Amino acid sequence: MKTIIVDDIKKNREVLKEMLSDYCPQVDIIGEAENVESARELILGTPPELLLLDVEMPDGTGFDLLNKIDSINFEVVFVTAHDRYALKAIKFCALDYILKPVQLKELIQAIHRAGEKLKERNSSANFSHLLHNIQNKNTGDHRIAIPTQEGFVFIEVSDIIRCEADGSYTQVFLKNKKSIFATRKIKGFEDLLQDYNFFRIHRSHLINMNHIEKYHRGEGGYVTMIDGCSVDVSRRKKDEFLERLNSV
């Protein structure tokens, strides 16, 4: 894979190059850059198949760089320190990342996944939605990639009413009365959506608190959602749920 490394710290680039040279023979490093503008010129002049991209740089971010590329027909693996929002945005769009300091096992796995994705060449939509989320991070207008057996379906987070566990899968119910059978456990959705006013009301149910129509009292009680469905509140979650409900 023709690969470009973008990182503003030379030592980081050197470490990556050494690890790739020793353990990832499928990688051919064709260039490196230390900032957004030099990376843009390099990518346009020497198109890569894979970009190892730092998130924070002196003249902007890796997201700014992608925004300056008209056609992203290469794979990207973000290499970043633990920036909570950046990681959430990357995960939301089913893209790959490695945390700094880079661990060899994670690097090898990321390179392997990038090679598999190159065969499919279907990631342009992921980048488009990532940039949308980054640009709208303060508006609540976010899109999430839902993995299915056929690929990914992108939907607005606000369109999700609830998620219901089905073994290792999850049924995602939407405002348009449709549902998506996702190949992701409900815990994965809980991790991604907990900052967007979703609550794990029951072992099998994750609900969008914005779409509750009514709470019915009882031992645990239950809620009626805007689509008419009823979902039990587990007894152990009741107090936390009522506290969240009162704060909405």
Whether residues 18 and 117 share a domain: the answer is yes
Task: Identify which of 51, 23, 17 has the alpha carbon closest to the alpha carbon of residue 109.
Answer: 23
In a domain, residue 24? The reply is yes
For the domain that residue 243 is a member of, what is the CATH number?
Answer: 2.40.50.1020
Residue pLDDT, tens place only, 45-71: 999 999 999 999 989 999 999 999 988
Predicted confidence at residue 120, as pLDDT, reads: 66
**C-alpha–C-alpha distance, residues 140 and 159, integer Å:** 12
SS3 category, 96: strand
Whether residues 204 and 120 share a domain: the answer is no
Whether residues 56 and 162 share a domain: the answer is no
Q: Which domain holds residue 27?
A: 2-135
Residue pLDDT, tens place only, 65-83: 999 998 888 999 999 887 7
Whether residues 67 and 126 share a domain: the answer is yes
Whether residues 216 and 237 share a domain: the answer is yes
In a domain, residue 143? The reply is no
Whether residues 155 and 238 share a domain: the answer is yes
**C-alpha–C-alpha distance, residues 117 and 22, integer Å:** 22
Number of domains into which the chain is organized: 2
Whether residues 99 and 215 share a domain: the answer is no
Question: 126 pLDDT exceeds 90?
Answer: no
In a domain, residue 17? The reply is yes
Provide, rounded to the nearest whole percent, the portion of the chain with pLDDT above 90: 70
Residue pLDDT, tens place only, 180-207: 999 999 999 999 999 899 999 999 999 9
Residue pLDDT, tens place only, 208-229: 999 999 999 888 899 999 999 9
Name the domain boundary from 80, 101, 135: 135
Angle at 95 between CA 41 and CA 157, to 5 degrees: 120
In a domain, residue 222? The reply is yes
In a domain, residue 142? The reply is no
For the domain that residue 61 is a member of, what is the CATH number?
Answer: 3.40.50.2300
In a domain, residue 74? The reply is yes
Name the domain boundary from 135, 162, 192: 135
In a domain, residue 128? The reply is yes
Whether residues 172 and 102 share a domain: the answer is no
Find the mean pLDDT for residues 150-177: 94
Whether residues 131 and 29 share a domain: the answer is yes
Question: 128 pLDDT exceeds 80?
Answer: no
Whether residues 7 and 111 share a domain: the answer is yes
In a domain, residue 106? The reply is yes
Cα-based distances in Å from 114 to 95, 160, 225: 10, 30, 40
